[in-house]
């Protein structure tokens, strides 16, 4: 199929012909929201949209509003099918976005540009067009300001957009609205699982002054026992080979820095590697796979990852090699270790927790290793679910980006 600049790469069946470029100012009327700020928000009252929502909780279509105020008599209210664009924000990228309002009677707060399209144009399609691709880039360039940037209605009026006929606009708008709803559902499920995990972490480890958790897995009843961390793990620091000696670098040994830790359960592959000679000429040590938890001891204190392949670290770690404790159980109680480390950390240039300070941490653990393993497996299942949900959410977001690039001119 031959493609030109005025037709998209992917098109729904039944639609053909070039898209037509229009200046937004020729097909819409413009106004501004009025009054109200975050300090006016209350738990219930009249629904309102404030400008910050548009770049902190971006939605192509806003059909439900969960923020409320006491209504003033001069309030500006939606009539349904308007487009709103934030008039100010922290960055041009943040505010170069638009949302379509489907609900009538919603108060539109100050610092909102309001765009009312003529009947031949879809608000959902136009909001998508403004918020993505070349149109977003052009609108970002029009934003003015330093500490606070602004987009004015005059900037929107001069924006050039390509449109198919209304029927095709509606089909595309509905399609991407469905994708957004699917993404929102996926994000909500992921958030609920994270909340569920946080609740279980709170209830499946004993609270201060207690020797049993609030929630117990079936078949276990003994009191948990107190141990110093050094009794159940070997604590190992790291080191850095001379960075000016090329013989020490780009070898076969994974070598981690703290910035690589904290976003994933497992550490699989480091950004930098060192040679055997580099290992020998530094205080770095080889840490065993599957038995080691990397624990950051500087700056971002308390970030953790389970080592999947043997590796070394720089001096920003005090890593734990399990001796008499289930690795995933220890990883799961990482929030408690982090709290302690942050409480005891010290330093003038940056906060740091030492091996000596970590060694004497007193932790409560089940005396029965089977219970440790059961708890570790329970949280591993939750973490696996979270990882799968995050992967699915990312795939949906990537699919949307790819389709936006192919289905718009």
Task: Express each pLDDT in 183-206 by its tens digit.
Answer: 999 999 999 999 999 999 999 999
How far is residue 118's CA from residue 206's CA, in Å, rounded to a whole number? 62
Segment 110-168, tens digit of pLDDT: 999 999 999 999 999 999 999 998 899 999 998 888 889 999 999 999 999 999 999 99
Phi, psi of 269 (to 5 degrees): -155, 130
* Residue showing tokens 């890593």: 319
Residue 356 to residue 384: CA distance in whole angstroms: 33
Pairing of strands 292-295, 318-322: antiparallel
Whole-number pLDDT of residue 2: 39
Task: Provide the token pair at 67.
Answer: 């923020």
CATH code for the part of the protein at 224-366: 3.90.220.20
**Mean predicted confidence (pLDDT) in 40-56:** 91
% pLDDT > 90, the chain: 85
1-15+165-206+369-409 and 224-366 have identical folds: no
Mean pLDDT within 334-357: 90
> Band of the pLDDT at 77, cuts 50, 70, 90?
very high
> For 78, how many CA atoms within 13 A lie in the half-sphere containing its CB?
31
CA 322 to chain centre: 31
Contacts of 6 by beta carbon, 8 Å cutoff, 6+ apart: 18, 19, 20, 21, 162, 409
Give residue 3's pLDDT band: very low, low, confident or very high (50, 70, 90).
very low
Domain residue ranges in the chain? 1-15+165-206+369-409, 20-163, 224-366
pLDDT in the model for residue 55: 79
pLDDT at 223: 96
In CATH terms, the fold of domain 1-15+165-206+369-409 is Helix Hairpins (1.10.287)
Please say if the pLDDT value at position 1 is more than 50: no
The pLDDT of residue 349 is above 80: no
Question: What is the rounded average pLDDT for all residues in the chain?
Answer: 94
Single pTM value for the model: 0.87
> What does the block give as tokens for 199?
């609740």
Average pLDDT on 91-101 reads 90
CA–CA–CA angle 9, 11, 12 (5° rounding): 165
Which CATH superfamily hosts domain 20-163?
DNA methylase specificity domains (3.90.220.20)
In tens, the pLDDT along 361-407 reads: 999 999 999 999 999 999 999 999 999 999 999 999 999 999 999 99
């Amino acid at each position: 199929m031959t493609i030109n600049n005025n037709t998209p790469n992917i098109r729904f069946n039944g639609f053909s012909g070039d898209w037509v470029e229009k200046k937004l100012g020729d097909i819409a009327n413009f106004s501004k929201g009025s009054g109200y700020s975050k300090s006016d928000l209350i738990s219930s009252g009249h629904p309102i949209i404030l400008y910050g929502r548009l770049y902190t909780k971006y939605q192509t279509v806003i059909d439900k509003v969960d923020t409320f105020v006491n209504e003033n008599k001069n309030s500006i209210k939606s009539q349904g099918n308007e487009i709103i664009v934030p008039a100010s924000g922290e960055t041009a990228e943040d505010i170069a976005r638009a949302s379509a309002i489907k609900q009538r009677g919603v108060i539109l707060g100050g610092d909102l540009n309001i765009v009312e399209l003529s009947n031949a144009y879809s608000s959902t399609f136009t909001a998508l067009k403004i918020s993505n691709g070349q149109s977003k880039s052009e609108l970002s360039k029009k934003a003015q300001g330093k500490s606070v940037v602004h987009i004015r209605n005059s900037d929107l009026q001069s924006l050039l957009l390509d449109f198919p006929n209304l029927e095709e606009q509606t089909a595309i708008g509905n399609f991407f609205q469905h994708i957004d709803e699917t993404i929102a559902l996926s994000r909500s499920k992921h958030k609920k699982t994270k909340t569920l995990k946080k609740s279980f972490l709170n209830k499946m480890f004993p609270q201060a002054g207690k020797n049993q958790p609030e929630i117990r897995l079936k078949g276990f009843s003994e009191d948990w026992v107190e141990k110093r961390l050094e009794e159940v793990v070997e604590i190992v620091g790291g080191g850095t080979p001379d960075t000016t000696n090329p013989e020490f670098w780009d070898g076969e040994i994974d070598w981690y820095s703290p910035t690589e830790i904290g976003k994933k359960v497992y550490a699989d592959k480091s950004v930098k590697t060192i040679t055997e000679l580099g290992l020998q000429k530094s205080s770095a040590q080889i840490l065993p796979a599957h038995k080691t938890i990397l624990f950051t001891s500087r700056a971002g204190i308390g970030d953790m990852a389970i080592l999947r392949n043997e590796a070394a670290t720089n001096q920003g770690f005090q890593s734990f090699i399990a001796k008499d404790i289930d690795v995933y159980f220890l990883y799961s109680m990482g929030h408690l270790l982090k709290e302690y480390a942050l409480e005891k950390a010290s330093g003038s240039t940056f906060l740091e927790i030492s091996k000596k300070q970590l060694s004497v941490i007193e932790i409560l653990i089940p005396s029965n290793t089977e219970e440790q393993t059961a708890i570790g497996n329970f949280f591993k299942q939750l973490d696996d679910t979270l990882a799968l949900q995050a992967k699915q959410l990312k795939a949906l977001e990537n699919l949307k980006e790819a389709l936006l690039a192919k289905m718009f001119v």
